[in-house]
C-alpha cells in the first residue's frame, strides 16, 4: 500500500496568509463503549476531568486559538453537552442571590467560550459521516476538527493554534501527529510522509491500524485537524469502510490526490480520555499540576502510595 501516492501534489507557500479559521467541529455522537458503564446515561464527553467536563478542555483550546464558533455533532442522549455550553438563567440567578461569585463565573464561562450550534447524527455511521453533517453550518471555508476525547495540553501555545499557523502559511489541510512507540502503531492511523521542515511533513499515504511490523513510520494521527472544505466532497464520495462506518481517514486519503495535506508533530501533551486509563491519567496529572489543588492532591497520592500497617 505504501507508495500508492508517490506523485505528490506540489506544496507552495501562499503569498499572503490564508483567511483565519473561525469554526470548529466537535464530533461527539459516538457510542463511547470503551467508557461503559460510566457513559451509559452520561455522554463520555461530559465525564469530569478535575473540575470540568472533558469536552470543555477542547472548547477552551478552540477559543484560545481564535475560533469563535463551535459546531457540536451530537446524538440522542447527548443533550447534556448542549446544555453545558448554554446559558442557565435559573442557576445564575440562584448563584447571584447566594453571592457565589466563583460558581457564577464558572457557569457563565462555559456559555461564553464560543457561539454554539449543534447538529444531530441520527445513527453512529462514523466520524467521516459526523463531519459531513456539519457541512450545512460550516459551508465553503476551512475549519478545525477537535475529537473531544483528546485533551491536548500545549501550555502557552495551544495545539490547535500550532496547526492554524501552518494552515495560514500553506492554505491546506493540516493533521496533528505524535510519534508512538513501534509496538503501538497498530492502534492508530499511521502516515507515510516526506519531511518539509522541523516537525512538519507532507503526507504521501496513510494506513489505518497497520499490522505490527508493517507501519510506514511511527507518526500517528491524533485528535486535531484543520481541513479544507474539499473534504466534504471527498467524504461524500467515500464508501463505508471498517465497521460499515464512513471513516474520516478514507476521506483524507482521497484528498491527497487533489491537494497537499500536511502533518504537524505538535508540541504538547495528549490525554486520551476515551479510554479508562487515559481518563484516569488526565485526572491525576492535571490535578497534580493545578496550582490550587496540586499540593493537596500530591499529599493525597503520597498517602495512598505510602506504607500501610
Ligand atoms: P471513537 O472511535 O472514539 O468512537 O470516535 P466512540 O463511539 O466515540 O467510542 P468507543 O470506541 O465506542 O469507545 C472518535 C470520535 O468520533 C465521534 C466520537 O464521538 C469521537 O469523538 N464519532 C464517532 C461520531 O461523532 N459519530 C460516529 O458515528 C462515530
The pLDDT tens digits for 194-243 are 999 999 999 999 998 999 899 999 999 999 999 999 999 999 999 998 77
Q: Tell whether ligand 1 has an atom less than 6 A from the beta carbon of residue 158.
A: no
Among 155, 280, 277, 178, CA closest to 224: 178
In this predicted structure, the answer to whether residue 169 has a pLDDT above a threshold of 50 is: yes
Cis peptide before 144 (omega within 30 of 0): no
Q: Tell me if 256 is assigned to some domain.
A: yes
The rounded distance, in Å, linking the Cα atoms of 10 and 118 is 37
Mean pLDDT across 41-45: 96
Q: Tell whether ligand 1 has an atom less than 6 A from the beta carbon of residue 274.
A: yes
Among 174, 212, 170, CA closest to 193: 174
Mean pLDDT across 164-190: 96
Mean pLDDT across 170-195: 96
Q: Tell me if 299 is assigned to some domain.
A: no
Residue 53, domain extent: 23-289
Q: Tell me if 127 is assigned to some domain.
A: yes
- Please answer whether residues 199 and 265 qualify as being in contact, where contact means their C-beta atoms are separated by less than 8 angstroms: yes
Q: Tell me if 177 is assigned to some domain.
A: yes
Q: What is the CATH number of the domain that holds 191?
A: 3.90.550.10
Q: Tell me if 154 is assigned to some domain.
A: yes
pLDDT category at 42 given cuts 50, 70, 90 is very high
Q: Could you tell me the distance, in angstroms and rounded to a whole number, from the CA of residue 275 to the centre of ligand 1?
A: 12
pLDDT of 241 reads 80
Q: Tell me if 13 is assigned to some domain.
A: no
In this predicted structure, the answer to whether residue 2 has a pLDDT above a threshold of 70 is: no
pLDDT digits (tens, 9 = 90+) for 249-305: 999 999 999 999 999 999 999 999 999 999 999 999 999 999 999 999 999 999 999
Q: Tell me if 199 is assigned to some domain.
A: yes
The number of domains in the chain is 1
Neighbouring residues of 22: CB distance < 8 A, sequence distance ≥ 6:
66, 67, 68, 69, 141
Q: Could you tell me the distance, in angstroms and rounded to a whole number, from the CA of residue 22 to the centre of ligand 1?
A: 24
Q: Tell me if 95 is assigned to some domain.
A: yes
Q: Could you tell me the distance, in angstroms and rounded to a whole number, from the CA of residue 238 to the centre of ligand 1?
A: 18
Q: And the C-alpha cell for 221?
A: 494521527
pLDDT digits (tens, 9 = 90+) for 24-39: 999 999 999 999 999 9
In SS3 terms, the chain reads as CCCCCCCCCCCCCCCCCCCCCCEEEEECCCCCHHHCCCCCCCCHHHCEECCEEHHHHHHHHHHHCCCCEEEEEECCCCHHHHHHCCCCHHHHHHHHHCCCHHHHHHHHHHHHCCEEEEEECCCCCCHHHHHHHCHHHHCCCCEEEECCCEEEECCCCCHHHHHHHHHHHHCCEEEEEEECCHHHHHHCEEEEEEEEECCEEEEEEEEECCCCCCCCCCEEEEEEEEECCHHHHHHHCCCCCHHHCCCHHHHHHHHCCCCCEEEEECCCEEEECCCHHHHHHHHHHHHHHCCCCHHHHHHHHHHHHCCCC
pLDDT digits (tens, 9 = 90+) for 118-161: 999 999 999 999 999 999 999 999 999 999 999 999 999 999 99
In this predicted structure, the answer to whether residue 1 has a pLDDT above a threshold of 50 is: no
pLDDT of 309 reads 63
- Please answer whether residues 230 and 216 qualify as being in contact, where contact means their C-beta atoms are separated by less than 8 angstroms: no
In this predicted structure, the answer to whether residue 177 has a pLDDT above a threshold of 80 is: yes
User: In a mutational test of the pocket of ligand 1, which residue from 43, 73, 121, 127 has the highest number of ligand atoms less than 8 Å from its CB?
Assistant: 127
Q: Tell whether ligand 1 has an atom less than 6 A from the beta carbon of residue 28.
A: yes
Express as a percent the part of the chain with pLDDT over 90.
90
Amino acid at each position: 500500500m505504501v507508495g500508492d501516492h508517490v506523485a505528490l501534489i506540489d506544496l507552495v507557500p501562499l503569498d499572503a496568509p490564508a483567511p483565519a479559521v473561525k469554526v470548529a467541529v466537535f464530533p461527539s455522537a459516538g457510542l463511547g463503549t470503551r467508557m461503559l458503564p460510566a457513559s451509559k446515561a452520561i455522554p463520555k464527553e461530559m465525564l469530569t476531568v478535575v473540575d470540568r467536563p472533558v469536552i470543555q478542555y477542547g472548547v477552551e483550546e478552540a477559543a484560545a486559538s481564535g475560533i469563535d464558533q463551535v459546531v457540536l455533532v451530537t446524538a440522542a442522549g447527548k443533550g447534556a453537552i448542549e446544555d453545558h455550553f448554554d446559558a442557565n438563567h435559573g442557576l445564575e440567578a440562584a448563584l447571584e442571590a447566594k453571592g457565589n461569585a466563583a460558581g457564577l463565573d464558572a457557569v457563565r464561562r462555559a456559555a461564553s467560550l464560543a457561539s454554539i450550534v449543534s447538529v444531530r447524527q441520527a445513527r453512529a455511521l462514523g466520524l467521516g459521516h459526523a463531519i459531513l453533517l456539519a457541512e450545512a453550518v460550516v459551508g465553503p471555508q476551512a475549519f478545525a476538527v477537535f475529537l473531544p476525547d483528546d485533551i491536548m495540553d500545549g501550555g502557552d501555545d495551544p495545539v490547535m493554534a500550532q496547526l492554524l499557523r501552518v494552515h495560514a502559511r500553506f492554505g491546506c489541510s493540516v493533521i496533528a501527529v505524535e510519534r508512538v512507540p513501534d509496538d503501538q502503531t497498530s492502534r492508530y492511523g499511521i502516515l507515510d510522509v516526506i519531511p518539509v521542515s522541523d516537525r512538519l511533513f507532507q503526507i504521501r499515504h496513510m494506513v489505518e491500524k497497520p499490522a505490527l511490523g508493517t507501519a510506514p513510520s511511527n507518526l500517528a494521527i491524533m485528535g486535531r485537524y484543520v481541513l479544507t472544505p474539499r473534504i466534504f466532497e471527498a467524504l461524500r464520495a467515500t464508501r463505508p469502510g471498517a465497521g460499515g462506518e464512513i471513516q474520516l481517514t478514507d476521506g483524507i486519503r482521497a484528498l491527497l490526490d487533489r491537494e497537499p495535506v500536511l502533518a504537524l508533530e505538535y508540541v504538547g501533551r495528549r490525554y486520551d480520555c476515551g479510554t479508562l486509563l487515559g481518563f484516569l491519567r488526565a485526572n491525576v496529572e492535571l490535578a497534580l499540576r493545578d496550582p490550587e489543588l496540586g499540593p493537596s492532591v500530591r499529599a493525597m497520592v503520597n498517602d495512598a502510595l505510602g506504607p500501610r500497617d
